[in-house]
Amino acid sequence: MSPSDQRLAAAIEQWFPLNARDLPWRNPRTPWRALVSELMLQQTQVSRVLERFEPFMDRFATPCSLASADEQDVLAMWQGLGYYRRARSLHRAAREIVDRFDGEVPIDAVSLCSLPGVGRYTAGSIASIVGGAREAIVDGNVMRLLARVHCDGASPTDRVFIKRVWSWAQNLVDICEQPPLLNEGMMELGATVCTPTLPSCDKCPLAALCQSRLQGRVSEIPPPKRSAARQELHHYAVVIKRRGKVLLEQRAATGLWAGMWQAPAIESQTILSESEVIKRLPFPLQSLRIQKVMQRTLTHRNVTLHIYSGSLKRGARVPATMGVKWVPVGGLADVPISNAGHAVLAADNS
Ligand code: SF4
Q: What's the mean pLDDT in 18-38?
A: 96
Pairing assessment for the beta strands 301-312 and 231-242 based on DSSP bridges: parallel
Return the best residue to mutate from 212, 217, 221 for the ligand 1 pocket (most ligand atoms within 8 A of CB).
Answer: 212
> Nearest residue CA, atom 1 of ligand 1?
207
Q: What is the pLDDT of residues 66-100, one digit of tens each?
A: 999 988 778 778 876 767 788 889 999 999 999 99
Q: Where in the chain is the domain with CATH 1.10.1670.10?
A: 138-224
| Res. 273: pLDDT tops 90 | no
pLDDT at residue number 74 = 84
| Res. 1: pLDDT tops 70 | no
SS3 assignment for the chain = CCHHHHHHHHHHHHHHHHHCCCCHHHCCCCHHHHHHHHHHHCCCCHHHHHHHHHHHHHHCCCHHHHHCCCHHHHHHHCCCCCCHHHHHHHHHHHHHHHHHHCCCCCCCHHHHHCCCCCCHHHHHHHHHHCCCCCCCCCCHHHHHHHHHHCCCCCCCCCHHHHHHHHHHHHHHHHHCCCHHHHHHHHHHHHHHCCCCCCCCHHHCCCCCCCHHHHCCCHHHCCCCCCCCCCEEEEEEEEEEEECCEEEEEECCCCCCCCCCEECCEEEECCCCCHHHHHHHCCCCEEEEEEEEEEEEECCCEEEEEEEEEEEECCCCCCCCCCCEEEEEHHHHHHCCECHHHHHHHHHCCC
Return the best residue to mutate from 213, 215, 217 for the ligand 1 pocket (most ligand atoms within 8 A of CB).
Answer: 213
Atom of ligand 1 nearest to the CA of 210: 4
pLDDT at residue number 166 = 94
Q: Pocket residues for ligand 1 (CB within 6 Å)?
A: 145, 148-149, 193-194, 199-201, 204, 206-207, 210, 212-213, 218
pLDDT at residue number 108 = 94
13 to 135, 188, 204: CA distances (angstroms)? 15, 11, 13
Atom of ligand 1 nearest to the CA of 199: 7
Q: Is 220 a catalytic residue?
A: no
| Res. 3: pLDDT tops 60 | no
- What is the rounded distance in angstroms from the CA atom of residue 46 to the CA atom of residue 53? 10
| Res. 2: pLDDT tops 80 | no
- What is the rounded distance in angstroms from the CA atom of residue 143 to the CA atom of residue 200? 17
CA–centroid distance, 185 to ligand 1, in Å, is 13
CA–centroid distance, 343 to ligand 1, in Å, is 42
| Res. 349: pLDDT tops 90 | no
> Nearest residue CA, atom 2 of ligand 1?
201
What's the topology of domain 30-129? Endonuclease III; domain 1 (1.10.340)
Which residue in 13, 38, 135, 267 is the catalytic one? Answer: 38
More confident residue, 183 or 81: 183
Q: Where in the chain is the domain with CATH 3.90.79.10?
A: 231-347
| Res. 215: pLDDT tops 90 | yes
pLDDT at residue number 253 = 63
CA–centroid distance, 199 to ligand 1, in Å, is 6
CA–centroid distance, 148 to ligand 1, in Å, is 6
| Res. 185: pLDDT tops 70 | yes
> Nearest residue CA, atom 4 of ligand 1?
210
Q: Where in the chain is the domain with CATH 1.10.340.30?
A: 30-129
Class for the domain spanning 231-347:
alpha beta
Q: What's the mean pLDDT in 263-269?
A: 92
More confident residue, 322 or 39: 39
Choose the weakest-confidence range: 73-82, 97-106, 175-184: 73-82
Domain at 138-224: CATH code: 1.10.1670.10
If pLDDT is split at 50, 70 and 90, which confidence band does 312 have? confident
CA–centroid distance, 226 to ligand 1, in Å, is 23
| Res. 226: pLDDT tops 70 | no
If pLDDT is split at 50, 70 and 90, which confidence band does 274 have? confident
CA–centroid distance, 118 to ligand 1, in Å, is 30
Atom of ligand 1 nearest to the CA of 218: 3
Atom of ligand 1 nearest to the CA of 206: 6
